[in-house]
Structure 1
Amino acid sequence: MSRGFKLGVLAAAVMATAPAVQAFEAGDFILRAGVVHVAPDDSSDSITVGGAPLLSGADSKVTVDSNTQLGLRATYMFTNNLGVGLLGATPFKHNINGGGDIPSDIKLGETKHLPPTLTLQYFPMASSSAFQPFVGVGVNYTTFFEEKTTGTLDSVVAAEYGIPGARTSLDLDDSVGVAVEVGMDYMLSENFGLNAAIWWADINTDARVKVYDANGDFAAQTAKFEVEIDPMVYMVGFTYKF
């Protein structure tokens, strides 16, 4: 028996065991649920007060740590190969740590955010294929909320500026930017499958720290400083086609 014939028989056997499904076609609504991990590729401007560093003699910056939450993605197919997708998730919570000359293990604050992302998606494979890779490009809108600073930052600022009992607050502006994605679905049956996807999102926010004295009266504030988060976002989960 020739090697070519054996390979042909093996290929036929693999094809026979693959799921015979009609994957995605115009009018389908596809829902995906799973775990989403946000890994910032962050950088920030130096933090200053009146043109001077926030902390004397130190290049004061911040970094943002990673977080994992439950995610939900939905796609509506308006042709067999084109769809519009929306990414949502439970709120992400990130620690804001020191950067520059401030050690990165010092927590300065925290925030929560929601990053809904809308993309136009292209699926190159035929509807008869159980394997459905896709690429997408679109827009990300990130809203920040429940920004908080730590007692560590309060104490440092109180000592640095001679404000006994100083309290600080943090404000983060919302962000709008470009998002790109690549991903795949593998349908195990007509309606159920597995999925994985990766995004990059352009997320930048203008931040400001305000300082209040022990009576709650405004005492000082930093200049606005930009924090570039620009995360890679990873998701794995399950697919259900309606």
Structure 2
Amino acid sequence: MLKQVALISLLGLSASAMAGQWQVKVGGSAVAPTSDTSVSGLGVVKADSELAFTPSVEYFFNDNISAELLLAAPISHDVTLNGVDAVKLKHLPPTITAKYHFKNASRFTPYVGVGATAFIPWDEETRGLGGLDVDVKEAYGVAGQIGFNFQPADAKNWGVFADVRYAQLSPEVKIETLQSFDLDIDPLVYTIGYSYKF
């Protein structure tokens, strides 16, 4: 009897999951760090703003609840020390958010989300620091998101969207012979693009 109940429950969950919809989003983003770091003995360290290609995949459990995975292309950052280029690096920012969509009678659907993000760096190098070695560590943090999707009257599956994300990220930076420090980036990510729901 217990096995039958478990089997029926699993079938019900599977049917519920299959009832959802997938959405693919393709957008462009402006990544704007909101913080800089004051390091004793060095000065002010700051990451610059960059543009990025930011596709994502989203799964809708129902009309209101979804989960979105940001799959951004590699982002290149210049890091300045007292306004002068000091470090160049690339990184990936995989981010997952659980989202709530405020369905209404209009074709605008606002949404909010909260989740987690990562900072995965590679190809770090110093500039203007005599060729010193630099190592930037991975970092993890919380993420928030707010935006809207708009579906034109003649569109069956596609739409346009705009949103703003915030990520709390402070990767550790180690430069040879110098003290290590946490680089406060905490970027705001402004995105606009197209969405397509299957």
- Fold equivalence (TM over 0.5): yes
CA contact (8 A) 1:74 1:85 kept: yes
SS in 2 for 1:107: strand
Q: State the superposition RMSD in angstroms.
A: 1.4
Deviation of 1:222 after TM superposition, in Å, equals: 2.0
Once residues 226 and 90 of structure 1 are traced to their aligned partners in structure 2, the CA distance between those partners, rounded to angstroms, is 24
- Gapped regions of structure 2 (runs ≥ 5): 1-18
Which residue is 2:169 aligned to? 203
| AA partner of residue 234 (structure 1) | Y
| AA partner of residue 44 (structure 1) | T
1:33 corresponds to which of 26, 46, 58 = 26
Which residue is 1:120 aligned to? 98
Which residue is 1:141 aligned to? 118
**Percent same amino acid at aligned positions?**
30
- 1:69-92 residue CA offsets vs partner (Å, 9 max, x unmatched): 111122101122100011121111
Deviation of 1:144 after TM superposition, in Å, equals: 0.8
Deviation of 1:61 after TM superposition, in Å, equals: 3.1
- Gapped regions of structure 1 (runs ≥ 5): 1-25, 48-52, 54-58, 155-166, 211-220
Q: Write the mapping of 1:68-83 to structure 2, written as runs, cut at 5 A.
A: 68-83=51-66
TM-score normalised over the length of structure 1: 0.70
| AA partner of residue 148 (structure 1) | E
- 1:10-49 residue CA offsets vs partner (Å, 9 max, x unmatched): xxxxxxxxxxxxxxxx5111111010110001222415xx
| AA partner of residue 232 (structure 1) | L
SS in 1 for 2:156: coil
Question: How many residue pairs end up in the alignment?
Answer: 178
| 1:238 to 2:194 alignment | yes
Once residues 38 and 95 of structure 1 are traced to their aligned partners in structure 2, the CA distance between those partners, rounded to angstroms, is 12
The runs of at least 4 consecutive aligned structure 1 residues that moved more than 4 Å come to: none
SS in 1 for 2:196: strand
| AA partner of residue 180 (structure 2) | K
2:150 corresponds to which of 186, 204, 217 = 186
| 1:108 to 2:86 alignment | yes
Deviation of 1:130 after TM superposition, in Å, equals: 2.2
TM-score normalised over the length of structure 2: 0.85
Deviation of 1:223 after TM superposition, in Å, equals: 2.4
